[in-house]
Chain A
Amino acid sequence: MSDIQSAGSKRILKILPYLSLLSVLAIWELVVDTGLVPNTLLATPIQVIELFIYKLSHADPDGSVLLVHVLTSIGEALTGYTLALLIGIPLGLLMGWFVVAEGLARPIFEMIRPIPPVAWIPLAIFWFGVGLTGKAFIIWASGIVPCVINSFVGVRMTNPVYIRMARTYGASDWEIFKNICVPSALPMVFGGLQVALAASWTALVAAELIAADTGLGFLITMGRRLLMPDMIVLGMLMVGLTGVFIGIVIDRVEKRLVAGVRR
C-alpha cells in the first residue's frame, strides 16, 4: 500500500492518528466544560491527567498508589497466565499428536470450554477469597482455553509432507512430535498466547471489580463508590495501556523464538 502513496500524503498519513486522538480529547473536554455532560458523570481529560499525576505518589483516597494497583494486576495476571500456558500448551500439543491424550483430555476440556471465565468468579472467591490466588485461578481458567485450542490446532495443521519426510528418516513418533510438529505449531501457539492474554486481562478486571482490595479493577470500583468519575476513567485507561504493554512483550518474545518463519 505504502508504495503507491506519494511522499506528501505519507506525511499526512503519519499525522492523522495524532489528529484523531487530539480531536477526541478536545471534544471530550468541550462537552464537559460546556456543561453538555455534567462533570459528576464524566471527568475531563485534564482532570484525569491531574489525578494520574496525583496518584503516582499518593495512596489516598483508595488506599494505594497507582503503581501498586498496576503491579497487583500484572502480578495476578502473570501468575494465572503463566500457569495457563505451562499447562495448556503442552496439553494442547500432546492432544494434537497423540490420539490417547486427545481421547482422555478432550471430553473434559469440551465440557469446561463453553463456561465463560467470569462465571468462575463466584466459585473462585468462595474457594480462595479476594487475594492473589483467586484472581490467578480465574485468569488461569480463561487463559488455558485458547492455549489448548491453538496448540492443538497448530499440531494438527502440521504439513503432512514434513511428517512424511521425517518418517523416511526413520524417526519415532516422539521424535517427530518434538522436532517437526512442535516447531511448526509455534506460530499458532503464539497466536493463542495473544488471544489468551486478551481473555485473561478481561476476566481479571471483571474479578477485581467484584472482589479485591487493590488492582486496577478495584481502582475503577472505588471511583464509582467515591463518585469520582476521573478515577474510573484513569482506571480504564491504565487497564488498556497495561494490556497493550504486555501484548507487545509477548510479540517480542515470539519474534525471537519463531525464527525463519515468514508470516
Chain B
Amino acid sequence: MEDKAGIKKPKIECVNISKHFMEGQEKNHVLDTIDLSVRENEFIVILGPGQSGKSTLLKIIAGLYKPSTGNAYLDGKEITHPGPDRGIVFQRYTLFPWKTVMGNVEMGPKLRGVPRKERRRLAQHYIELVGLKGFEKAYPHQLSGGMKQRVGIARAYVNNPKVMLLDEPFGQLDAQTRYFMEEETVRIWETEKRTVIFVTNNIEEAVYLGDRIVVLEGKLPGRMKKIYDVNLPRPRDYTDPAFLDLRHLITEETELTL
C-alpha cells in the first residue's frame, strides 16, 4: 500500500498481516489482512474496542509475535525480533519493582552495554523530560499510576527508538490523570519527535492525540474499518467544535461495532 503523501518511504509498513493463535485444536483468528503504512514522526492511533486485535497488531510490530501471514517492516527491513529501535509502553505497569526510577530507566542502556556514566546522563535527561526530576531514587511502589507510566515512557525513550509503541498506556488511570497524561504525551512527543503508534479504545483520546486514526472493526478477526485524518492544530481543545465533530463522526460510524 502506497502512502498517500508518497514523498518519503514509510517508517513502518504492515503488509497483508493476519494472525491466528492456536487454542488446542481451535484456530482463534485475531487479525485479518491488515495493510498500514506509517510515516516518519507520525502519530498514529489504532482505535478499537476490547478484543479487536489492536494489541496483537502492536505486538507484531514490536516483534513479540510473528504474523501468521504477511510481514511488518521497519525502514524497509522485515521485523523478526524485538529490539531497542522500538520502545514499548504497556498498559499494565511493567516497572521492575526492585529498581529505583533511575535503575528502571537506565536498564535498557545497561542491557545494551552503554557505560555507566553515559547511561546515567541519558536516563537523567529522559527522567527530566517526563517530569520526574527529584524522583530518581524512588521505588515503583512509592509512585502513583500516572508517575509509573511516566517512568514507562522515559524507559522507552531512553533507548533512542525510531518508533514508540504505546499499548493503552493510560487505560488504568483515573480520568483526570488521563487527560493530564495525554497533554504530557503530546508535549513530550513535540519535544523529541518520534514515530508513534498508540493503541487505545477511547475515541476522545484518539482524536486528541493522533495525526491519523486507524479504526479496527469491533469483532474478531480484527480488520481495518476506516482511517481518519485529524487536521486539527495542537495543542487540541477537547471542547473545540471541530474536535467534537470528529469525535461524533467516529462515534457514529463505529457505533454499531464499538
Measured CB to CB, the residues of A under 8 A from B are: 161-162, 164-171, 175, 179-180, 183-184, 186, 258-262
Q: Does B112 contact A (CB under 8 A)?
A: yes
Name the residue among B63, B96, B99, B141 with the largest chain A CB count within 10 angstroms: B96
Which parts of B78-129 form the interface with A (CB within 8 Å)? Answer: 81-84, 86-88, 90, 92, 94, 96-100, 107-108, 110-112
Kindly list chain A residues whose C-beta atoms are within 8 Å of the C-beta of B98: 183-184, 186, 258-261
Q: Per a CB cutoff under 8 Å, which of A161, A175, A261 touches B92?
A: A161
Q: Per a CB cutoff under 8 Å, which of B81, B107, B159 touches A179?
A: B107
Q: Per a CB cutoff under 8 Å, which of B84, B92, B97 touches A169?
A: B84
Q: How many pairs of A and B residues are in contact by the CB < 8 Å rule?
A: 66
Q: Does B62 contact A (CB under 8 A)?
A: yes
Distance in angstroms from A229 CB to nearest chain B CB is: 50
A168 touches B88 (CB 8 A): yes
Measured CB to CB, the residues of B under 8 A from A are: 62-64, 81-84, 86-88, 90, 92, 94, 96-100, 107-108, 110-112, 139-141, 159
B92 touches A168 (CB 8 A): no
Say whether, besides A179-B111, A262-B141, A168 and B86 are in contact (CB < 8 Å).
yes
Q: Taking CB as reference atom, which chain B residue is nearest A262?
A: B141
19 contacts between A and B (CB under 8 A): A162-B94, A164-B64, A165-B96, A166-B111, A168-B82, A168-B83, A168-B84, A169-B112, A169-B159, A170-B82, A170-B84, A180-B96, A184-B96, A184-B98, A186-B98, A258-B98, A260-B99, A261-B98, A262-B141
Kindly list chain B residues whose C-beta atoms are within 8 Å of the C-beta of A166: 107, 111
Kindly list chain A residues whose C-beta atoms are within 8 Å of the C-beta of B97: 184, 260-262
Kindly list chain B residues whose C-beta atoms are within 8 Å of the C-beta of A180: 96
Name the residue among A162, A170, A179, A180 with the largest chain B CB count within 10 angstroms: A170
Q: Taking CB as reference atom, which chain B residue is nearest A161?
A: B94
Kindly list chain B residues whose C-beta atoms are within 8 Å of the C-beta of A162: 94, 96
